[in-house]
Amino acid sequence: MHSRLLGRIGTSVLVLPYACPLCIHHFPKSSENSSTQSRSRSTKAELEVEVENNVPLWRTIVFVFIGLLECLAWLGYGSFLLITGHPRWDGIQRFLVASTWLYTTARPVARPTATPPFDLLAIYLAHIGGGILQLGGYLFQHNASGAPLPGTWVLVGLSVNLAASVGLVVVIMGMPLALPSHLVKKEDIGLSVSPEDYTSLWGWVSFAWVYSLVKRGRNTTLNEKDVWNLSPNMQSRPIFIKFSSLPQKSLLASLWAANSFDILMDFLLTLCSIMFNYAAPFFLKRILDEVDTSHESERTRARPTFTLF
Structure confidence by residue, pLDDT tens digits, 75-101: 998 998 899 888 888 889 999 999 999
Mean pLDDT of the chain: 78
Average pLDDT over residues 263-284: 90
Structure confidence by residue, pLDDT tens digits, 39-62: 444 444 444 445 556 788 999 999
pLDDT at 195: 86
What band does 218 get if pLDDT is binned at 50, 70 and 90?
Answer: confident
pLDDT at 162: 93
What band does 120 get if pLDDT is binned at 50, 70 and 90?
Answer: very high
- Cα angle: 283, vertex 284, 285; to 5 degrees: 90
Residue 213 has pLDDT above 60, yes or no: yes
pLDDT at 212: 82
Average pLDDT over residues 174-201: 82
Structure confidence by residue, pLDDT tens digits, 14-36: 333 333 333 333 333 334 444 44
Residue 154 has pLDDT above 90, yes or no: no
Give the residue extent of every domain in the chain: 57-173
Q: Give the Cα separation of 176 and 102 in Å (integer).
A: 25
Contact partners, residue 222, CB within 8 Å, separation at least 6: 213, 216
Instruction: Please state the pTM of the whole predicted model.
Output: 0.68
Strands (E), the chain: 3-9, 12-17
Residue 123 has pLDDT above 90, yes or no: yes
First to last CA, the chain: 122
Instruction: Assign 13 to helix, strand or coil.
Output: strand
